[in-house]
Amino acid sequence: MVVHREHLGSTDAAIGASQHTRTEGSMKWFQRVLSTRVLPSLQTSLLFFGYLFAHSAQAQVAPPVTKPLQLAVFATGTGTWTNFAAGRNLGITAGADLILHNYWGFRPALEIRGTYPFHAGGRDGQEDFLLGVRVEHEYRRLHPYVNFLVGGGSIGYKNGGYPYDDFIYLSSTSTVYSPGVGVDYDVRHGWGVKADFQYQHWDTPIPAYAVIHPRVLSVGVVYTFGSHKYYHD
């Protein structure tokens, strides 16, 4: 965790130096999260999906593959109940899914997404970058799914920072764990609509909010390349 806080009696020069230190610390923290949390999770997912491919190829009776590898991209409006001092964010989320082959009606996928708040609601602004796995089940045009994502997030404390004891906390970073559920609905020519809910785990340096669980609701559009060839009426 990288924390940017100032003593209530700090000078402007000290603040500038601390901001420079925070930038360097944030980069090191992000690299550490990427190497110790995100990349191992992605490697495990790839090994798991590789096993599925090998097992399917060797099976004597294999289910038919109805769809090839596909890429889906999405963009949504996002509302976040931050679980920090009754804070709320309004922002955008964008991401992509690499959707693998159909296994007994289920389609696993590798997912990447990021969320940025353009309105922080006066309490805290939470932004994150996440990677993980998703599994969907197809009901004609309806695609309900579950996912589990992990990555890094940062919190900017608004209105000049959050005072606690003799310090003012300006920002902090955290590893983010994010299980979720959602549904995509195919509309026409590869386009669809998406609704998604995430229940997240963050850590903060402020004792009163040491662990927070933001709830994130997103609604938007999704485009799946080549999917119009496989629609079911």
What the chain holds in terms of domains, given with CATH numbers, is 3-57+65-230 (2.40.160.20)
- At residue 189, the 3 state secondary structure works out as coil
Q: Give the pLDDT confidence score for residue 1 in this predicted structure.
A: 77
Tens-digit pLDDT string for the chain (233 aa): 767 776 666 534 434 444 444 445 555 655 665 566 555 655 655 565 555 555 544 544 444 445 678 999 999 999 999 999 999 999 999 999 999 988 888 999 999 999 999 999 889 999 999 999 999 998 889 999 999 999 999 999 999 999 988 899 999 999 999 999 999 999 999 999 999 999 999 999 999 999 999 999 999 999 999 765 555 44
Which residue matches tokens 């602004």?
Answer: 125
| Pair 200, 214: CB distance under 8 Å | yes
> What DSSP designation does 160 have?
T
10 burial (CB, 10 Å; 0-12 / 13-18 / 19+) is middle
- At residue 16, the 3 state secondary structure works out as helix
pTM above 0.85, yes or no: no
| Pair 225, 190: CB distance under 8 Å | yes
Distance in Å from the first CA to the final CA of the chain: 50
The Cβ-side half-sphere exposure at 195, using a 13 Å CA radius, reads 4
Q: Give the pLDDT confidence score for residue 121 in this predicted structure.
A: 85
